[in-house]
Structure formats: structure tokens, C-alpha cells
Structure 1
Amino acid sequence: MKKIVLATFFLVFYWSNLPSLYSQNGKESTTSSGFPIVWIEEGEGELPEAGGRVFFNLQYSIGDSMVYDSKTSGDVSFMQLPEADDPQIAGEPLFEALYLMVPGDVVIVTQRKNQMNQSLPGMADDDELRTRIEFVSYKTAEEYEAELQIIRDRLPEVREFVDSVWWNYVSSEYADKLIRTDSGLEFIIHKKGNGPPISKGDRISFHYFGKNIESAANFDNSFNRARAINFVVGSGTVMPGWDELFVLLNKGDVVSAFIPWQLAYGERGRPPVIPGKANLLYYFEIFE
């Protein structure tokens, strides 16, 4: 009984003193609007400048309850930083904090309801919103555009390769080379990666190119946007065929998958781009 009382006391003390506990572990400051900001981890590098791209993870908590976590989507959030004196970002702790951070920093910004431009539903007047920001990386506007162009320049090469994969599949050239599963999924590994096997719950990043097997129409790709896809395998946020495929692969693999409509967009499809019951070809380049 004594242990239970002590444990309960510790939990109450911990949550009620969470901001001060964070303060003891890192440097403190305030944003331009006066929001307290505490460093949990300190990185290194230059402060970001307006026009650059900031890549970050974000969590919102009220009391001991997390109300949002950007990591659940698998994507690292990113944005182009506006000018620091832009009136539209005044009073927004995320923007104000990012101007004080460098890559590798992890901070907590605290905000009371009466300090918020728009409060979250259910917040009491004395509630505090804690915004946890993990600064993943930063690219200047010039660096970011140069990287995008390198990826875009690969699009003709990738399109031509996917066309050849499609032809080899429909003409049965791959008949003896395909790996097949009981669900009807088929795939071929063009290049074996050096990374570890992919498991459910892993976050992976990759580029892809999509093609309708019946019509040969190209319907989507990440090379044109020059931005890789990130997601958590097995989270149910993508088509079933993707979740089934990736746990059969390694990070670094280059693969083409032939996904039956039951494991893709089903009977309805994704009008007007993908018709119902469409069997799809996806080409993937998975990062290591």
C-alpha cells in the first residue's frame, strides 16, 4: 500500500511539475511573443533564414494527454519559413520557436489558452498547451531547389524504365522471375538493398512511380514532385498491397510490384485518375 501511495505521489508531482523538470535539463528562453521555450536536446548548426526549408516533428500535449503527434503519419513535416516579421505568424509558437532553433534541437514551448490565436476544443481556461518541436534538418532555398531539380531530372529515365517493366510483365517476360504471395500480390526486385529487413512499425522513405496495368496510363509519381514518401509500415494509412509488400523487402531495395485491385483501390478506384477494379504497377526506390 505504501508503494502505491508513493508511486501515485510521484506521478502527480511529475505531471504537475513537467515544465520545471524540463527547465532543469536545458537552457531556457522566450519567443518573440513571450512564450516560454525550454531546450530538451541541443543540436548544432546555423539558425534558419526566411525562405529556407525546415524539416521537423511536432507534438501537442495538454496536461498529460498528447493530442497530436506528426510522427503517426510517418511524414516528417516541412515548410518554407516566412519572414520573421510576417504579421500572419505573430503569436504562433511553432514559427517563433523555429527561428531560435538549429538542426538537432528539441524544445518545448508552453502556451496558455488566453495566449492562443485559436484554442483547441475542450481546453479549460487554466490549461497549458505544450508544443514539442524536433528540428530534424534545414536546407537553404538554394540547396532545396538544387536537390529537387536533381530528382526531377531523373523522371524521364524512371518513366522509360517503368514502361519497360510494364511491357515485360504484360508480355509474360517476367513469368519465371516474379515473387508471388497467396493474396495475389506479385513483385520483382531489380536491385537488392544493403539495409535491414523492413518490419511492421518501421518508418520508411521511398520514391515511387505508378502505372495502370490495363491502360498503361501513368497516374502518379513522387519524382515529379521531387519529394519522397514517408510512412509507418502496417499503420493502415496506405493501400493493403503496400503494407503487404514492404514487410517482404529490405531497406535499399529497388522493386516493382504488381498489385491486384483488391489490394489497391478496390471496386471504386480513385476517380477520375484510377478507375474501379484497376490493377496497378508501382515502381519503388526505398531509402536505406
Structure 2
Amino acid sequence: MPSVTSRLPFIYVAAAIGLSLGVYGCSGSRPSSIFGSTAMESEAEAAQAVAEESSPAEQPGPWITTDSGLRYRILRKSTGRHPQSDDTVMIHYHGWLDDGSVFDTTYKKNLPATFPLNAVVPGFGEGLLYVGEGGMIELEIPGRLGYGFKGSPPKIPSNATLHFRIELLAIR
């Protein structure tokens, strides 16, 4: 029987194919969320998951607003390598709207996502450029850097601000 390590490339490829189908959709329609639908039960559950991953000694950094209007803050510093816009990354993430409703997460299944940064909404791809491998970042993505006027019904309304907590596990 092959070891888990020898099967990892297959798992990453399978995940990337699944994400591509989820991101782009077989029919060419927009997805209901950025990476598929695995909604967490509550914001409290997500906060618990993030708290378990963060060092208790760390305090979130200040909110920074970029020229594009993206807001971010570092939740866990890292000296690891930062991704480039054409890299593929492996992450854990939790996404919610202003009203606290969760539209997507990897924490519930405890299965990280792997995908190319150039295959996501612009604010998500830009935000990951500010965190290194092993770090964690929180993003506030204005509607124009997310799904814009069209939204991504039924979970993401028109011009919705998207919120994410993201752990950058690896750059591929």
C-alpha cells in the first residue's frame, strides 16, 4: 500500500481539479461561493477554530488599507516565503459576510484547499500576497474586488463585502 506521502501529489491534483470545476463551474455559471459550499455552522465555531490555530501570545496587527481598497491585518506573523500572483497556494480559510453569515470554509472538514491565486476574486488574490507561508491574515474585500454587482447568488448578494481569515500553509 502506498504511503500517505507518496499519494499527496495525487491528492493535490485531485483537489485542484475539483476546485477548478467548483470555481469555473461545468456549465460556465458562477459558483455559489469562492471555492464551493462547505459552510460552517456559526461564526463562533470559526472563531474557535482560528483561536486554536493561533498562538495565544500573538495579537492581531493593525488594519491596513491598500490602494485598491482592500483591508487586511496580519493575525499570525511569518518569515516564510510570500506567494506571487501566479503561484498555487494551499490554505485553510473561513469566509463570511457583514451580517456574520458564513458562505464558505475549509475548517469544518479540516481539509485545506489548493488553488492558483489567479483563479479567485481579485481581492482574495491580492490579500494573500501580504502573508508568508505559515502566517495567517484577515481580509475585508469590498464588493468591487469580490463578486461585484452580480454577486454570487444565493449566498453572496450584489456588491457584498467579503471577510476571510486565511492560513497560508504552503506555496506550490
- The question of 1:76 aligning with 2:7 is answered no
> Structure 1 pair 161/260, CA: closer, same or farther in 2 (3 Å)?
farther
Equivalent residues in 2 for 1:195-206, closer than 5 Å: 195-206=80-91
CA distance in 2, matches of 1:184, 1:203: 24
Equivalent residues in 2 for 1:112-127, closer than 5 Å: none
CA distance in 2, matches of 1:161, 1:227: 13
CA distance in 2, matches of 1:250, 1:194: 6
Secondary structure of the residue aligned to 1:207 is strand
Letter in 1 for 2:158: G
CA distance in 1, matches of 2:84, 2:159: 28
CA distance in 2, matches of 1:159, 1:219: 15
* Alpha-carbon contact 1:209-1:284 (below 8 Å) kept: yes
Question: Match for residue 63 of structure 2?
Answer: 178
* Alpha-carbon contact 2:139-2:164 (below 8 Å) kept: yes
Question: Match for residue 274 of structure 1?
Answer: 156
Larger Rg: 1
Secondary structure of the residue aligned to 2:152 is coil
CA distance in 1, matches of 2:120, 2:150: 16
Question: Match for residue 222 of structure 1?
Answer: 106
Runs of 4+ in 1 over 6 A off after TM superposition: none
CA distance in 2, matches of 1:226, 1:161: 10
Question: Match for residue 46 of structure 2?
Answer: 158
TM superposition shift of 1:159: 3.2
TM superposition shift of 1:192: 0.6
TM superposition shift of 1:179: 1.2
* Alpha-carbon contact 2:73-2:139 (below 8 Å) kept: yes
Secondary structure of the residue aligned to 1:251 is coil
Q: How many residues align?
A: 134
CA distance in 2, matches of 1:182, 1:47: 48
TM superposition shift of 1:200: 2.5
Q: Which moved more, 1:221-230 or 1:181-190?
A: 221-230
Deviations 1:86-145 (A, max 9, x none): xxxxxxxxxxxxxxxxxxxxxxxxxxxxxxxxxxxxxxxxxxxxxxxxxxxxxxxxxxxx
Question: Match for residue 262 of structure 1?
Answer: 144
- The question of 1:207 aligning with 2:95 is answered no
TM superposition shift of 1:258: 0.3
Question: Match for residue 22 of structure 2?
Answer: none
* Alpha-carbon contact 1:187-1:258 (below 8 Å) kept: yes
> Structure 1 pair 56/269, CA: closer, same or farther in 2 (3 Å)?
same
* Alpha-carbon contact 1:55-1:77 (below 8 Å) kept: no
The runs of 5 or more residues in structure 1 that have no matched partner are: 1-45, 49-53, 59-74, 79-151, 163-173
TM superposition shift of 1:225: 2.6
Secondary structure of the residue aligned to 2:47 is helix
Give the alignment's Cα RMSD to 1 decimal: 3.1
The runs of 5 or more residues in structure 2 that have no matched partner are: 16-39, 51-59
* Alpha-carbon contact 2:73-2:138 (below 8 Å) kept: yes
CA distance in 2, matches of 1:219, 1:159: 15
